[in-house]
A and B are shown apart, each in its own frame.
Chain A
Amino acid sequence: MALSTTEPEVTPKAAVPSRRPAWPSVALALIRTGPALMLIAVVGAASLLSPVFFTTRNLGNVLAQTAVIAVLAIAQLLVIVTRGIDLSVGSTIALAAVVGALTFEAVQSTPLVLLAMLGTGLAVGLVNGTGLVWGRLPHPFIVTLATLSVAHGLALWLSGGQPHRGMPELVQTIGGGSIGWLPYSTFLVLALALAVLFLTTRVVWGRWIYAVGGNPDAARRSAIPVNGVLISVYALSGLFAGIAAIITSGRLNAGSPTFGELAELDAIAAVVIGGASFLGGRGTVGNALVGAFMIGVIRNAMNLLNVDAFIQPIVIGTVILVAVELDVIRGAMERRFRVMRAAQS
């Protein structure tokens, strides 16, 4: 081993900081920024391969198309940090969009439509959270799988299986408007990301989310309100699905039961590509966004390069595998790092 310590018994506390080899820290830092580096590489490759890719018009497209995945991924991250998963967000988009469209048909009130969509999302999230905590369901996979089905069915039933056209002006602007080439939805994504970043890094509640994910038993013994934390992340995930519904139905000026299909898988993939761990306690908002944009950029680039639509899911799947493999390597590095530390102390 590359340990430079020759006399381990001699004043270790004075000697350790200067003698500790730097490479594990460097390697860890590299792996930690891995998702961002991968995104830069993908953007670089896309720019080289297609002259259209790095134009403002196309970048605006990418941003608009990625907004929904990004919003979902930000909230899904918090769920995954608590060792959970929320499979219901795609169906929740459909249900919230249908409820919004029907509300708009009934009363032409913008605030009511917004309230209906956000409220629908929040309601599904609360059902997930309370079902998990109070129903003592063994794993969030089950309750969110159930609400996935229920919300999808409700969306079909309420809409009669038909898209309902028409959304308030404001909703259309949020979903489809832009300042120059920058879509409004991008600003919305940015604002939500900053809010959640603040929550996770500066607010006690955010600290509790990571504590619950890191060690739920210890969190209980430390008097952290574990159940409240769990309910809150699912409620937030539902609410963000409501926001994603506003973006989707605004862009298409309609509410349809087919909206958001498989969006939950995109969101989960984005979070995983961003290096979050399914074992809980680890993952950052920034990296979840990077994961979302990775998916958006790869899809867009493949479209520009006329890659067969059937090939695209294969590529996305491969990217997920590579990203998770990076995570595994990182775990091994951390263990190695720890052994080296112990040897030196």
Chain B
Amino acid sequence: MTGGTVVSDRIPALRVRGAVKRFGLVVALDGVDLDVHHGEVLALLGDNGAGKSTLIKCISGVHRLDAGHIELDGTPVELNSPAAARNHGIETVYQDLALFDNLDPAANFYAGRETAGPRWLPQGLRVLRRRAMTQATAEVLGRLQVQVHERQSTVGLLSGGQRQAIAVARASAFDSRIVILDEPTAALGVRESRRVLDLILRLRDDGRAVVVISHAMDHVMEIADRAAVMRRGRKVGEEIPTPDTQQKIVSLIVGA
């Protein structure tokens, strides 16, 4: 297990420095620094309105920072659209999963980046390589041990846990380096949560940098290598989650 102090001399997969984001008069992010390393799960904690969602939206290209900068593997990057973030290997699993219920898992995986040819045509006019996409999807699902009974059926027919797994697996395909998950277990039962947590750990073991927003303390304690706590747009602390630090983390969150 890697700790906050041990990893600091390596170049982090994701480095946020002095992130500021305002919405009108509201300061949603007020100078946030954050490092996430390859092969690490970072839990991003905080009460509602603490700025967690704003921060991950800035990292995934939905919002633009008003000040501060973001580095990937030591290189400053401009993330001004979701597509730009994705091209840099940042994949986000939103709370609503952003799945296409009317399409099958392969079509969901490849939405907006379909494998198609010939290359001299613009992307929209290319012919889909359906078999290649189906195979690649099956490989990713197999590697992550996601069980989908009928890979041809539409995602809308799958259970909540399977849908979550599909969304997480999609985020880990395409050589993504950083995977951000917003409340990945919020809508799931115990057994389904278990599977998604295992999946997150497999992503970590794959060497990816994983950021998880969660309110479920027991899940954080179990999977996170580090926990960063936010309050009122600032990062108020970082702890390595252990039974001893749990109480401290909770106090940081509530500001007591």
Contacts and interface: CB of A to CB of B under 8 A. Distances in A.
Interface in B154-182: 156-162
Contacts of A224: 111-112
A341 B156 CA distance: 12
A57 interface: no
B149 A341 contact: yes
A202 interface: yes
B80 to A, nearest CB: 13
B83 to A, nearest CB: 4
B156 A223 contact: no
B181 to A, nearest CB: 15
Contact of B157 (A214, A220, A338): A338
A306 interface: no
B99 interface: yes
Contact of A204 (B96, B98, B128): B128
Interface size class of A (residues with CB under 8 A): 20 to 34
Pairs A-B, 7 closest by C-beta atoms: A222-B112, A342-B159, A281-B102, A223-B83, A218-B98, A214-B102, A214-B100
B248 interface: no
A334 B155 CA distance: 11
A17 B150 CA distance: 9
| Residue of B99, B112, B160 with most partner-chain A CB within 10 A | B112
A208 B124 contact: yes
A205 B102 contact: no
A218 B157 contact: no
B103 interface: yes
Interface string B114-128: 101000000111111
Interface size class of B (residues with CB under 8 A): 35 or more
Contacts of A16: 149
Contacts of A17: 149
Nearest to B87: A223
A136 interface: no
Interface string A268-311: 00000000000011100000000000000000000000000000
Interface string B97-112: 0111111000100011
B125 A334 contact: no
Contact of B112 (A203, A205, A223): A223
Given A207-B114, A345-B147, 18 more contacts: A203-B127, A203-B128, A204-B116, A205-B124, A214-B100, A215-B100, A221-B82, A221-B94, A222-B113, A224-B111, A224-B112, A225-B124, A281-B100, A281-B101, A334-B157, A342-B160, A342-B161, A345-B162
Contact of A202 (B86, B111, B127, B157): B127
A341 B111 contact: no
| Residue of B107, B111, B113, B157 with most partner-chain A CB within 10 A | B111
Nearest to A337: B157
A224 B86 CA distance: 13
B102 A219 contact: no
A223 B113 contact: yes
Given A211-B100, A281-B101, A218 B125 contact: no
B111 A211 contact: yes
A219 B111 contact: yes
B98 A221 contact: yes
Contacts of B103: 207, 210-211, 214, 281
A121 interface: no
Given A17-B149, A203-B128, A204-B126, A215 B162 contact: no
B124 A215 contact: no
A225 B112 CA distance: 8
Contacts of B114: 204, 207
A213 B96 CA distance: 16
| Residue of A202, A220, A221, A280 with most partner-chain B CB within 10 A | A221
Nearest to A224: B112
| Residue of B62, B86, B114, B161 with most partner-chain A CB within 10 A | B114
A338 B83 contact: no
Contacts of A20: 149
A217 interface: yes
B128 A202 contact: yes
B147 A13 contact: yes
A318 to B, nearest CB: 28
B160 A214 contact: no
Contacts of A338: 156-159
A232 to B, nearest CB: 9
Contacts of B130: 202
Contact of A222 (B111, B156, B159): B111
A266 to B, nearest CB: 26
A175 to B, nearest CB: 30
Interface in A178-215: 202-205, 207-208, 210-211, 213-215
17 contacts: A20-B149, A204-B125, A204-B127, A207-B107, A207-B114, A210-B100, A211-B100, A214-B100, A218-B99, A218-B111, A334-B156, A334-B157, A338-B159, A341-B149, A342-B160, A345-B149, A345-B161
Interface string B208-247: 0000000000000000000000000000000000000000
A161 B86 CA distance: 57
